[in-house]
Amino acid sequence: MISENSKRALTIKAYDDEVVCLSLGKENLVNILGDNIQKIITKNNLRWAIEKSKHLSKLTPMQLEKIFEFFHEKNYKANDVIF
């Protein structure tokens, strides 16, 4: 979940050429993506994790879409038994 007060920051350093950096604030991002922003972020995080996985990165696009179709996110509290 995106925290209302969270800030994203990064450092950009131009080495060989001029760099133009564009930014998009959370309010604008929410206006563009609407109420689905958290689902989009979660799906992108899942895609990133799969790409980094030695075994899951070998799945076909159709297999990945099936995973995304059935994937759901659940938050747990401290000391919850998950498995």
CA distances from 5 to 1, 22, 27, 32 (A): 12, 21, 12, 19
**Of 43, 6, 51, 39, whose CA–CA distance to 25 is shortest?**
6
C-alpha–C-alpha distance, residues 40 and 46, integer Å = 10
> Which residue has tokens 């659940």?
74
Cβ count within 10 A of residue 42: 15
Q: What is the pLDDT of residues 41-83, one digit of tens each?
A: 888 888 888 889 999 889 998 998 888 888 777 888 999 998 8
Q: What is the pLDDT of residues 11-23, one digit of tens each?
A: 777 888 888 888 8
